[in-house]
Chains A and B, each alone.
Chain A
Amino acid sequence: MGVELKLSQLAVGSSAVVRAFPSSGGAFLRLREMGVLPGTPVTLVRTAPLGDPIEIKVRGYLLTLRKSEAEHVVVEESGPGRP
């Protein structure tokens, strides 16, 4: 079992599996509809030059979200991945 942490704490280049995020709130509904669901593997590709927002790879495409949104998403680290 990997370590559980917030998506906003994931290191650049590491992969993780989404475990949980709030069941209400517009941001999280949209995240879900964009394919970020419990059980979905994600990779943190990079952060923006000023450190925020972050860029993740999910289901083969690139998605950005702010750290303030990412900190509500719990992920389980699955190891360094292909960025």
Chain B
Amino acid sequence: MPPVPTSASAPVPSRQPVYAIVGNPNCGKSTLFNALTGLKQKVGNYPGVTVEKKIGTVYSQHGLPMPLIDLPGAYSLAARSPDEAVTRDVLLGRRSDTPAPDRILCIVDAANLERNLYLVHQVLDLGRPVILVLNMMDLLRHTGVGIRVARLEKELGVPVIPCEAVNGKGLIELKVAMSRPDLPLSRHAWNVPSAIAPAVAEIQASLATRDGRPPLVARAEALLLLTDQDDLRVAGSAPLSQTTRDILAGWRRRWEASGTDWSGTLVTARYDAIGRLVAHVTEQGPPPGPAVSDRIDVVVTHPVWGWVVLASVMTLLFLSIFTLAEVPMNWIDSHVAALNGWVKAALPPGDLNDLITDGAIAGVGGVVMFLPQILILFFFIGLLENTGYMARAAFIMDRVMSRVGLNGRSFIPLLSSYACAIPGIMATRTIEDPKDRLTTILVAPLMSCSARLPVYLLMIAALVPGDRVPLVTKVGIMLLMYALGTGGAFGFAWLFKRTLLKGAPPLMIMELPPYRLPRIKDVLLHMVERAGIFLKRAGTVILAISIVLWALAAFPKGPAGITAQQQVAQSFAGRAGHALEPLIKPIGFDWRIGIGLISSFAAREVFVSSTAVVFSAEHLKAGKGADIGPLRTALRDARWPDGRSLFTPLVCFSLMVFYVFAMQCVSTVAVVRRETNSWRWPLFQIAYMTGTAWVVSFIVYQLGTAMGF
């Protein structure tokens, strides 16, 4: 580290300094954070908002722990999304739940210096010690541009560390810099344009005296108030005093009268300063040939090949979910069954035994079985994000998504929901606009997920006469169900964006980052983290619901010696089914199907096993590879009390349609609760989805009956 001549130096903190890492999206921030902290990370949420909070620990040269806060990626401190608002608030010391960082690591993509320095420029205004990390030096080499690091260091007056976070180059130098007991304050001065400068001074003074802001925070905030034109958005959780607001409004009136574009003037002044700096510290080498990334894009965003690539990527994703996941799913299935059998034999028979085995183990096992699928989905989503393909898919699909008022970023979350809505919903955090994000979350569970497959397959088997279902029929009905769900999702997205979640048309101002080879470690870490969040969030809820559902079917106890079927019939679940019958009779269901609907609220595929008990098809195992032959026969023999057949083709069809729309998944409810930060939206979701399910099934059944089916 060459010594940096300093004129000012920050006071040395008496404890280990708290660092925060900030940078634009796609500059390698997460990779650097992972590389610096290893697995020493705490992942959570910022209270009150659904923005990921990550704090890790870096060990200094002398082995002392230094906390490192990973702030969400931001293009500017004039925040436009909840993520950026958190970054701004932590840096301005506004969040009581997070320590204000003593020192700031600014990470920039060295190959994209100008735009990345815009945020750095704003951070320097905060007057805290900054270390500038020039990441992606490897990419820079391919652009033919050279950066004179020493000169940049001298101009900014802060340590500048060239780095390649993906392969760990520069990390030691960075840790050495972070361990320095004192760090210089930036000497980089930029001139606020003369038209704006008096306003900055006046607002700064007012913020300092009337709003109690520390002097440097006051200056940074004054500049933000004059960059954004919406002071409510800038103030966020720290509202302004009336005096400050009046001063601000007075200046704006004067500028509007004189035709001064104050915000544009400020942004331009920053970019001018950055432009001069960049011209001074970079040298253009021989112009390189077209970059690899550009050559990939020629194919990937090609009018024809683009679709082929997109379709292939998605096919690969689904193939791997359904083939790769099968082995671990069967493994989990058989081990859960074995565990269940072992516990059943080991404990004395009785209610406790049944509670643990039929309640807890079977219930949780049924959901854990989907974990391999969920993990693979998280892995793929992480891979798509890390390589840069996610942005291309959004670019290609934006036009389609715009038809229902969403933008391209909703595409991957919705598509993932075909396998499982949970990773899809958790992936919506990449959607910046809160209303778009909420709309996507609300409609994602309408995409037919894989837990619906066993229900569809059972109903198709019951629907088609004969032992073998012709493949064409099977595929045709399946496709119809998928189309119904997809149509429903898009229809409701359209509706919500026009009514409940009306807002400005979504922006599609999005960076297409250069393609990169992903660091598998990062992708795996991301996957494990997501899965952990899911298990923690959904696990307890699933356990509770499983036990409740078990108790509903097990109590009250019937006389000794009755069959499982008779026990369920006279249990609370059976009574609930009876109570439900008037409500579901108009859609063709009897109380026994009602029991299935209730029990499958834990997870949709439970419908198959609970139906097996209710209709007394013994020896039926749930899960994959189960032989549904006996159950199909039992269903065909099922009758209404008046002797009419229960499972007519129309009822089977009505039931499938019900499962297309109904929100029968407690794990999804738990995840939506976490992602929307309130019970309001998951409850609304249950109501609108299940309501729609009933209405559509009603139309199908009544229309079908009237037409003589």
Q: Which residue numbers of A lie inside 8 Å of B, CB to CB?
A: 23-24, 26-27, 29-35, 37-38, 46, 48-53, 55, 59-66, 68-69, 83
CA distance A31 to B115 in the complex (A): 11
Contact sample, A vs B, 20 pairs, CB 8 Å cutoff: A23-B261, A23-B263, A27-B509, A30-B80, A31-B509, A35-B114, A37-B267, A37-B271, A48-B301, A52-B398, A53-B508, A59-B115, A61-B115, A63-B511, A64-B395, A64-B511, A65-B510, A66-B398, A66-B508, A69-B508
Which A residue's beta carbon lies closest to that of B287?
A82
Tell whether B306 is near chain A: CB-to-CB under 8 Å: yes
Contacts of B143 in A (CB 8 A): 60
Tell whether B505 is near chain A: CB-to-CB under 8 Å: yes
CA distance A63 to B115 in the complex (A): 11
Set A27, A51, A61: member contacting B507, Cβ < 8 A: A27
Q: Using an 8 Å CB-CB cutoff, how does the interface string of B400-431 with A read, 1 for contact, 0 for none?
A: 10100000100000000000000000000000
CA distance A35 to B513 in the complex (A): 15
Contacts of A31 in B (CB 8 A): 509
Contacts of B681 in A (CB 8 A): none
CA distance A28 to B465 in the complex (A): 62
Which A residue's beta carbon lies closest to that of B228?
A29
Contacts of A53 in B (CB 8 A): 395, 398-399, 408, 508
CA distance A29 to B78 in the complex (A): 9
Which A residue's beta carbon lies closest to that of B400?
A50
**In whole Å, how far is A4's beta carbon from the nearest beta carbon of chain B?**
19
Whether the Cβ atoms of A34 and B512 lie closer than 8 Å is no
Whether the Cβ atoms of B268 and A33 lie closer than 8 Å is no
Whether the Cβ atoms of A69 and B509 lie closer than 8 Å is yes
Q: A35-B114, A35-B118 are in contact. Are A23 and B512 (CB under 8 A)?
A: no
Main SS at interface, chain B:
helix
**In whole Å, how far is B230's beta carbon from the nearest beta carbon of chain A?**
8
Whether the Cβ atoms of A50 and B271 lie closer than 8 Å is no
Q: A33-B267, A38-B268, A49-B396 are in contact. Are A68 and B509 (CB under 8 A)?
A: no
Which B residue's beta carbon lies closest to that of A30?
B509
- Which B residues from 497 to 548 make CB contacts under 8 A with A? 504-505, 507-513
Whether the Cβ atoms of A49 and B402 lie closer than 8 Å is no
Whether the Cβ atoms of A62 and B512 lie closer than 8 Å is yes
CA distance A24 to B262 in the complex (A): 10
CA distance A64 to B307 in the complex (A): 18
13 extra A-B contacts, CB within 8 A, seeds A33-B75, A48-B396: A24-B229, A29-B229, A34-B75, A37-B268, A37-B271, A52-B402, A55-B301, A55-B512, A59-B112, A60-B114, A64-B398, A66-B398, A83-B294
Q: A49-B303, A53-B395, A53-B398 are in contact. Are A64 and B509 (CB under 8 A)?
A: yes
Which A residue's beta carbon lies closest to that of B262?
A23
Whether the Cβ atoms of A37 and B399 lie closer than 8 Å is no
Q: Which of A38, A50, A65 has the most CB of B within 10 A?
A: A50
CA distance A68 to B407 in the complex (A): 13
Whether the Cβ atoms of B505 and A68 lie closer than 8 Å is yes
Whether the Cβ atoms of A26 and B504 lie closer than 8 Å is yes
Whether the Cβ atoms of A49 and B306 lie closer than 8 Å is yes
Tell whether B264 is near chain A: CB-to-CB under 8 Å: yes
CA distance A52 to B505 in the complex (A): 15
**In whole Å, how far is B513's beta carbon from the nearest beta carbon of chain A?**
8
Tell whether B668 is near chain A: CB-to-CB under 8 Å: no
**In whole Å, how far is B24's beta carbon from the nearest beta carbon of chain A?**
10
Whether the Cβ atoms of A32 and B509 lie closer than 8 Å is no
Q: Which of A24, A49, A65 has the most CB of B within 10 A?
A: A49
Q: A48-B396, A50-B399, A60-B114 are in contact. Are A32 and B510 (CB under 8 A)?
A: no
**In whole Å, how far is B10's beta carbon from the nearest beta carbon of chain A?**
28
Set B80, B400, B508: member contacting A65, Cβ < 8 A: B508
Contacts of B36 in A (CB 8 A): none
Whether the Cβ atoms of B80 and A62 lie closer than 8 Å is no
CA distance A81 to B505 in the complex (A): 31
Tell whether B217 is near chain A: CB-to-CB under 8 Å: no
Contacts of B263 in A (CB 8 A): 23, 29, 32
Tell whether B553 is near chain A: CB-to-CB under 8 Å: no
**In whole Å, how far is B203's beta carbon from the nearest beta carbon of chain A?**
18
CA distance A66 to B695 in the complex (A): 37
Set A51, A55, A62: member contacting B399, Cβ < 8 A: A51
Whether the Cβ atoms of A35 and B399 lie closer than 8 Å is no
Contacts of A38 in B (CB 8 A): 264, 268
Contacts of A24 in B (CB 8 A): 229
Instruction: Report, nearest first, the 6 A-B pairs whose CB atoms are least far apart.
Output: A50-B399, A62-B512, A23-B261, A33-B76, A49-B303, A59-B114
